Structure formats: C-alpha cells, structure tokens
Structure 1
C-alpha cells in the first residue's frame, strides 16, 4: 500500500486524494489487507493481488484484513478500526485501473527481500574477514585458505549483483508504473507498458544466483552441503518459464512475483546456512581461545625450564645456551598446537623436535665447548628435555 500510494501521489495516474487518504489510514493503524501470494505474472501489473485492496475499499463482503493482534476483520469493521470516515468508495472512471495497474506487490516483496539480503551480505563480509584475521601469519598458508585468500574475487561480484538488484528495485518502487498515464501539463493521455515487471523478475533471478554459491564452509559440512545444493537448485531462473496468457494478449510476462517468492525461500535458507556457519565460527573462536591459553602455558613452561637448565652449569658458570630462550619461544609459536595438544612433552611430536633442533643448532656452532664435558651443550639438551617431561 505504501509503494502504490507513493506511485499515485506523483499525479500521473488519475485518482481522488480521498482514496489515497483512506489507504494511508490503513497503514497508520497497522491494518493489513489479506492478499494472495500466488496468481500474478506481473505482465500488466499485479492485478490479482492488488484487486483485493480495491475490493476492501469498495466494501466487498469477502474482503479481509488483519490487525496487529491477529484478528481478522471484514471491510466494514476495517473502515471503523482505521478511522476512515467515508462510506465505501464508488470508483470513478480510471480509478479502478489506477489502483490495480502497477507492480506494487512484487516490488514491495522484492524490496523486503533485498533489505534482508543486504544485511546478510554485511554478515558474510564480517564473518569472512573474521576468519581471515584468525589466520596465523607465522604459519605457512595451506590450500585450505584458498577460499579466504580469494574472497574479494568471488564475494565481490556477487555483492555487485545484489547492489544492482537493490538499485533496480529502488527505481521500480519510486516510478510511475501504470497505464495509461495522464499528463495534465500537456493535456495528453500516454499509453505505455510501465506495468511490465521484468525489472523485478530479472533482479530476483540474479539475486538468487548470487546466493547460490558454495562459500567453501568446511564446518557442519553435511548440513551446509545440503543447503548449498538446495540454493543452487533455487538459483534457476523463473523468467525463462513464461506462459502466454489472456488469449495471447500477454504473450510476454515477467513472472516477477513468482521470482520474488522463490527469492524469499532462498533468503530463509541462506539464514539457516549462515547461522550454521556462525555456530562453527563461534566454536572456532572458543577453540582458538583454548589454544591460545595452552600456548601461553607451554611458552611459560619452556621459558622457566630454559632459565633453570640452560642458563648456568652445575658449577654455576654461565652457559652459551642462556641466549636461546627467545628462539625457543619462537619455535613454540611456529608449531601447530593440534600436533602436540594431547602431550606437549612427547619426544615424537613436532614441538619437542623443534625445540631440540634449536638447541642442537646452537651446539653445532660451539665446537670447542663441546670438548669439555662440564660445558657440553648436548648434556644440557638432555637435562632440558628431562625437565620438560
């Protein structure tokens, strides 16, 4: 109703202001007419769903509305609740066509869908950036990070498609999209086909396609694989299934409202998919927190034991290995925690092997010291490893 009123207020359609005031009162009192979601091809507008609003205004007994508490009202009660002072309207020439001949239903639903879709776009950007931020810069990148490294190239074009669809629907809801138009300034009646809803159908087809990509989420993989498969199926265009109608008078139609309904399904499914990913992301953050705590404990332990076993010899003299504490801590940073999380002191795990490598490399540069058993670095290595255990 808001979109249709916005169109008619531009003054090219031919309708009394009192009717627009009545529609505005329905909006202001949160009274919603009941419309069918199916039955429109948006060829010469959303005639069928919009006719239900017209039926309400002229007082058809089968017209229904819903108020915020969910109570259904007939036309008479609706006028009373919405504080519409006039009787039911008796439409004048052109007014019936003016009210039903437009794309308001399809464009309204498209605008609602795209509003949610743009929020999901921001959500996707943030969660993708969060994953990129969590990549350890000290670790060598693996092929697992391919989707993250290339995020701007695969996410960017899809965002552009959604932005284009949003701009297209924005133009549609602010346009004059009925026939015929009355140009009072030139005293002319303009016959056109602004009611054709192809901008809606194509925009929604493209928006669904942008949602159908597999983003490479590897958590909750079975569920997400199912969601992605369904999204890819729903990405098939609706606008390629045109059926000639009205005894071939409308042999070309947009199927815009049908495309919108399929896009609504896609948005609902995409919410489930992104929620599943969000659960996986939160779990990853929790695990990263646990990993960081464990790494801090390991580094603290390695540092203390290095000071205890590598700083001085048995006779109290300073050892060459007293300078390698920093390198040992860097070695801890360079080893994946999952490779030693169950037993950090295991001699067969990468952590202990990396620490031993640091100490051995120091020992190999101190040839003269190794000749003296009291200053041998290799003996300190054994003491260091025993203390860690």
Structure 2
C-alpha cells in the first residue's frame, strides 16, 4: 500500500538512519525524522538554503519600504492583540516590549531536546520568507542550534492561538541575548550572554516585526509533536508485533486476517493491519493457519479466538489511519508560514490573518493520543489473556517459568499494566474542547495544541512501558508454549509405555511435572 501507515513509519526509520551531517532549511522540505534528529543530536548542523537567504532579504526590504511610506501594519507600529488600537513608530522598542511582556512563564521547563525541536521548526518556517524578518535573524537562530545553545523554556503558559507566544518568546529572548535568561549550552546551565560570548554569537537587535515573527506561530507545538509522532508510529507497529506474538502464545488463528473478511469491510487501515498480521505470522510454528471449516470440531474448545486477537485488525485500523493523517498535518505545519501578518513581496500583499491558530494540530494530537489509547486497550486485553492460566490454554499461572509455589512470574507486571492503562485512559481525554477566552477576549477561541501535544508525549511514555511489558510476557509465553508441547509429547509417550501411570500423570499439570515434580510426587 503506497500510503500505508507501515510504509510511512518504515520510511521515517530509514530517513532517521540516513540523516545528513548538515540539514538545509528551505521552508518546504523539513521532515519529522529530521526534527527528531536535530532535537537529540547536538552534533548535527543546520543552515539556511541559498535561495531562502535571498528571499528573506527581499522580503525584509519590501516591508521596510512599505513602512517608510507610512503604512500601518499590525505588530509593527501598533500594539498587540487586544491592544492593537495603539500606535508607535519606535519599531525596536515595540518588539522589545513584546518579548518582555510575554516572558512571563514559571514552573518546570521543557527538556532541551524539545526546545531544539521547536527552534529548528521555527527557523524552517521563517525561511519561507513570508514573515518580514532579515536573514541574520534566522541565521542567528541556526547558530544557536549549531552551538548547542537552548533557552530554559517554561512548560506551561501557551494557549496555542496567536501562536505559542510564551514558549517561543524565550527563544526570541535567547536571540536578543536577554541578560537574566538562563540557557543550556552543551548541557551546562549558564546566563544567555555568557553562552553567546563563548559561542562567538552576537545578540540581534530586532527590527520591525521580527520579534512578532519569531513568537506569533505554533512552531513549538509542531516541533514538539514531530518526535512524539515518530514514537507513536513505532508503537503502533510494535502493537501489531505484540498481537502476532500473542496469537502464537495462545495458538490463535490466522483466519481472522483472511483477505475475504476485510474486503467485506474495506476500511483502508483495517485492510492494512490484516495484511500486516498475515506477514508477521508467516511461517510461524504455533498459530493455526488452517481454516476452521477444514478442521475437525472439538467439543469444549473455543470455536474462534477472543476479541483481543480476532478483532485486532478492526480495532487497530482506525489508529493506523489516524496516525497517518496526523503525520500529514504536522508535516504541513513544519513547513508553513504560520505567523501574522503574512508579508509577501512576490505579490505585493500584506495580509492580516490567523495561521497561528493551532486547532488542526490540537485535533491531530488529540486523535493521536486516542490512537495510542486504542493500542493500550488492545495490549492490556492481550496481556490479561496471556498471563491468566484460566484463559491462556495450559500455560502456567502468571506465566511462571519455574516452580509456581515460589515464583509468581508476571504478577507484578500484571498489576502495573492496570496502573498504566488507567493513567493512559486519563490522558486520552481530549484537550481541544477545553477552551477559555484569553487576552482581553481578543483570543476568544484558542486551540490548546501544545498542551495536547504534551499529553500525547505522556501517553507515548506510558504505552512504551506497556509495550515492553507485553513483549517480555509474550516472548516468555511462546517459550513456555514450545516447552509445553514437548513435555506433553513426552508424557504421552510415557503413558503409552507405562499405562498404569496414565491416571497419575493426567492429574499433574505439565509445568508442575517439569518444575516441581518432587513436591508433587510427595
């Protein structure tokens, strides 16, 4: 499938492996894997493409001429938001006042990798040259990235409408070298002026619109979301692997993924998951691959698998479609002019709009989080089925790999899974409908996209723990299933050779016979 979730994810992995040492930003081609790479690899360098540098200079020159002719433009010679009714021709002072009043955060900080992700995203969006900024402003931002300088950015305070004003304002503060700003340089916390001096970077004096251009966008959300989505996509693939392992552990059926079933309900994601499951289970040794209609019926045996196996394609299909769509949306945001106003020297237009409204990303991250919740529910159901001796078709209680009287196997993990799933259920709740009017009712609707992205990152962490648990459990289950099959054959052989032992052997569980035979004999 050309646009399948699996192809998207595998392409991400391949791109992640082949990131060049220098990433050129041109406003159109930045990818999710590249944002991830820059965020966690300080040795990677970024620069602005030659064409973009020329466009930036032309764009800034165009704006300068318009202002020289007396044009009044929002955020340049006006106040901001609900205060846009005031006027000033002190351009530098207006931009300083903007950064100063929005640097109002407190509390815990974003991790440095998330700040770097936001920085490279904002640099790329500015390089489209629709924001009226000079090339030296964007170059200064890339210099910060290349010298591993990132400001301390408060975790909370953005409503993601009129952009991620507060968090991006701390990046702007680093560009201008705010004296009391703390930054991380190579992992060390120091004052911004000291870090700039050590790196040989001169602070920038912001010209008309340049402060607004840096902060009046949702690039922090987009940058934060990119690594989060990368991991989310991997988790959906791993959930399918876990499903395959669970089917083998429980000697389930591949019939559930027969193409005929899914051609009768041809949702794109469902068909993809079913196809993936057949590939995952190809050449397996434990799952039942013969159609049930061609097998003899056995009274007392389930005629079909339980839902966590049988309906996994239908269950995960929507998650595959959702994550694919979220990747598409976030990639657009990574490569867009999303501040206000839009300044276009190409068509001689300055337009006041609202590309900073992050509702698209808020919905995308809400839905991505719901997709992670769907994966979690399936994993929890599969874990509960595999670990429970009443449901796992002959495997030991708690999947113990030795004497069940002194070893309780995965009982602790079983309890932890319930805790993880409960917390994940909480995070799955949407953020996009929790909207309050802000900033003198100018920001009367706002997206809360960055908060949604943060919650999705939390959901990723929880699902990673659940996935690790389930992978361990199913790996042990498959080992035990194989051992069980060998032991049962040996018991059958023994019973045939010594018929008088058959009744006794029949009363002893195979794992007791194997792991604690002396106790059972006594």
Q: TM-score, normalised by structure 2?
A: 0.56
CA distance in 1, matches of 2:482, 2:150: 49
* Aligned pair partner of 1:287 in 463, 476, 480: 480
> Given the alignment of the two structures, is residue 17 of structure 1 paired with residue 135 of structure 2, yes or no?
yes
Q: Mean alpha-carbon deviation: is it higher for 44-53 or for 275-284?
A: 275-284
Deviation at 1:340, TM superposition (A): 5.0
Q: Mean alpha-carbon deviation: is it higher for 139-148 or for 251-260?
A: 139-148
CA distance in 1, matches of 2:472, 2:442: 52
Q: What is the match of residue 84 of structure 2?
A: none
Alignment of structure 1 residues 62-77 onto 2, 5 Å: 62-68=180-186, 70-77=187-194
CA 302–49 in structure 1, closer or farther in 2 if over 3 Å, else same: same
CA distance in 2, matches of 1:92, 1:284: 64
Q: What is the match of residue 28 of structure 1?
A: 146
| SS class of match (1:212) | helix
| SS class of match (1:189) | strand
Q: What is the match of residue 160 of structure 2?
A: 42
Q: What is the match of residue 356 of structure 2?
A: 195
CA distance in 1, matches of 2:508, 2:366: 44
CA distance in 2, matches of 1:203, 1:189: 29
> Given the alignment of the two structures, is residue 297 of structure 1 paired with residue 412 of structure 2, yes or no?
no
CA distance in 2, matches of 1:271, 1:81: 39
Deviation at 1:180, TM superposition (A): 0.7
CA 341–273 in structure 1, closer or farther in 2 if over 3 Å, else same: closer
| SS class of match (2:350) | strand
Q: What is the match of residue 269 of structure 1?
A: 462
Deviation at 1:198, TM superposition (A): 0.6
* Aligned pair partner of 1:239 in 432, 453, 470: 432
CA 125–71 in structure 1, closer or farther in 2 if over 3 Å, else same: same
CA distance in 1, matches of 2:471, 2:419: 17
CA distance in 2, matches of 1:71, 1:37: 19
CA 283–92 in structure 1, closer or farther in 2 if over 3 Å, else same: same
> Given the alignment of the two structures, is residue 223 of structure 1 paired with residue 223 of structure 2, yes or no?
no
Q: What is the match of residue 119 of structure 1?
A: 234
Q: What is the match of residue 185 of structure 1?
A: 346
Q: Contact 1:57–1:75 at 8 Å: present in 2 too?
A: no
CA distance in 2, matches of 1:142, 1:73: 66
Deviation at 1:191, TM superposition (A): 1.3
Alignment of structure 1 residues 313-332 onto 2, 5 Å: none
Q: Computing the radius of gyration over CA atoms, which structure comes out larger, 1 or 2?
A: 1
CA 337–96 in structure 1, closer or farther in 2 if over 3 Å, else same: farther
CA distance in 1, matches of 2:481, 2:194: 60
CA 342–42 in structure 1, closer or farther in 2 if over 3 Å, else same: closer
Extract unaligned runs of 5+ from structure 1. 310-335, 345-389
Q: Contact 2:329–2:364 at 8 Å: present in 1 too?
A: yes
Residues matched between the structures, number: 312
Give CA deviations for 1:227-281 in whole Å, capped at 9, x if unaligned: 2222122111111110001111111000011111111211111112222222211
Q: Contact 1:29–1:81 at 8 Å: present in 2 too?
A: no
CA distance in 2, matches of 1:193, 1:337: 74
CA distance in 2, matches of 1:33, 1:104: 15
CA RMSD of aligned residues (A): 2.5
Q: Contact 1:43–1:253 at 8 Å: present in 2 too?
A: yes
CA distance in 1, matches of 2:216, 2:508: 64
Q: What is the match of residue 172 of structure 1?
A: 333
Q: What is the match of residue 376 of structure 1?
A: none
Extract unaligned runs of 5+ from structure 2. 1-118, 252-286, 289-294, 388-412, 500-505, 515-522
Deviation at 1:142, TM superposition (A): 5.6
CA distance in 1, matches of 2:367, 2:139: 36
Alignment of structure 1 residues 87-106 onto 2, 5 Å: 87-106=202-221
CA 224–143 in structure 1, closer or farther in 2 if over 3 Å, else same: farther
Deviation at 1:160, TM superposition (A): 1.4
CA distance in 2, matches of 1:104, 1:24: 15
Q: What is the match of residue 380 of structure 1?
A: none
CA distance in 2, matches of 1:146, 1:12: 52
CA distance in 2, matches of 1:242, 1:71: 37
Give CA deviations for 1:121-170 in whole Å, capped at 9, x if unaligned: 11111111222244242885466633111110001111211221121111
> Given the alignment of the two structures, is residue 54 of structure 1 paired with residue 172 of structure 2, yes or no?
yes
